[in-house]
Amino acid sequence: MRIAIAGGGLGGLTLARVLHRHGIEAVVYEREPSRSARSQGGTLDLHPESGQRALAEAGLTGGFRSRARPEGEEHRIVDPAGRTLVHHTPQPGSFAGRPEIDRSALRDLLLDSLPGDAVAWRHRLVAATPRPGGGWELTFDGGHTSDCDVLVGADGARSVVRSLLTDAATSYVATFAELTISDVDRRHPDVAELVGPGNLWCVGVNQILAAQRIGDGSVRVGISLRAEDRPLDTFRSKGALLDLFGGWDRSLTALIEAGDDTVTPRRIEAMPVGARWSGRPGITLIGDAAHLMPPVGEGANQAMLDAAELGRALAADAADPDAAIRAYEEAMFARIHPIADMSARAQAMMLSPTAAADVTRFFSARP
């Protein structure tokens, strides 16, 4: 069984690792030229029942614990006047909750666990066509081709593989603009103290200003707005972002002022809740390719769990990969639909006129 995985993000790499542990070889085709070609972004909290479970399946719990930052689980929610609404401090050194890990550290952990030739870099999949005898012919940017018996689309939000299974379209659900404050302890100690070792969320009317401590000594600042509020192009400078937060406490707008100059705005998209497809031989999807959701803390966790469950199913039924794929897909749809529904509702709640009260109630109720 020759397995091709399109996309070397957290889902694709976790799948390759789980298969490799079961003695099944898989090639990951990744469009980026190398592991360091692009910054991987901020940090993730890995949930015990999904992201951490997948890492256990991958035999990487020890590696995760040595790279994670359990203190990063600390979070504080404040209102636009800077008043604290919720402050959660984890038990020092405890891995019982949802410890944070930098995305780059997690991706390196997965890459280092694979044989050197498991990832074919600079391979952007542009098309996959069924072969007459079964399996798929893959065409990459530049014209070179390859083939496989089973194709797994782990190619993220704008998946190319998705269209071979479903015509479900994504919709624009929010705007997100990001800034980095590098070397924060030395250059902006007040900001460092405000953010603390974990996450800070400043919740206003229809908008959120958030900040997150990263293990490399920087802070990432993210601004979330409703999709319908303003065109994406209006968020390309710090001045334009500051205009959105007139009247907010200056200790909070300092998060924007302290940012290094580049502002990266992007569209946040989601697939319809309940999206599914009828199975097709030799092909399936995991992660954002399968179920792109608003970013409220589940996407990477579920992508990794998809990978662990698909890898286990393929290993258990290597003689009949289509039966393994069917079993994986049914279980995945049943697991994901309530999570996608919750994510859509959480996203709407966080960007609403009553967000401060709703978010406070939500976090106060959480154990």
Sequence ranges of the binding site: 38, 45, 103, 288
- Looking at the Cβ atoms of 71 and 132, the one nearer to ligand FAD is 71
* Min separation Cβ 30 and ligand FAD, Å: 5
Q: How far is it, in rounded angstroms, from Cα 198 to Cα 86?
A: 13
Q: Determine the Cα angle at 135 with ends 131 and 140, to 5°.
A: 80
Binding-site residue numbers for NADPH are 38
Q: At closest approach, how far in Å is the CB of 67 from ligand FAD?
A: 16
Residue type, 167: D
Between 297 and 317, name the residue whose CB sits nearer to ligand FAD: 297
Where does this chain bind ligand FAD (CB under 6 A)?
A: 6-12, 29-32, 44, 124-125, 154-157, 160, 176, 268, 287-289, 295, 297-301, 303
Is the Cβ of residue 253 or residue 343 nearer to ligand FAD in the bound state? 343
Query: What token pair was written down for 342?
Result: 């919750």
Cβ–Cβ under 8 Å, residues 339 and 47 = no
Return d(Cα 199, Cα 203) in angstroms, integer. Answer: 13
Do residues 33 and 10 make contact, with C-beta atoms less than 8 angstroms apart? no
- Closer residue to ligand FAD in complex, CB, 220/238: 220
In whole angstroms, the minimum distance from the beta carbon of 176 to ligand FAD comes to 5
CA-to-CA dists, residue 228 to 75, 174, 202, 268, 351, angstroms: 28, 8, 21, 12, 11
Let me know how long the chain is.
367
Q: Closer to ligand FAD at the Cβ: 190 or 341?
A: 341
In sequence order, the β-bridge partners of residue 194 are none
**Minimum distance from CB of 244 to ligand FAD (Å)?**
17
HSE-CB for 178 with a 13 A CA cutoff: 14
Nearer to ligand FAD, 4 or 314 (CB): 4
To ligand FAD, the closest distance from the beta carbon of 170 in angstroms equals: 13
Task: Provide the minimum distance between the beta carbon of 289 and ligand FAD in the complex, in angstroms, as a whole number.
Answer: 6
Provide long-range contacts, Cβ within 8 A and 24+ apart, for 88-96. Answer: 88/363, 94/70, 95/65, 95/68, 95/70, 96/48
Smallest separation, CB 157 to ligand FAD (Å): 6
E strand residue ranges, 55-159: 75-78, 84-88, 100-102, 119-120, 125-130, 136-140, 145-148, 150-153
Smaller CB separation from ligand FAD, 252 or 300: 300
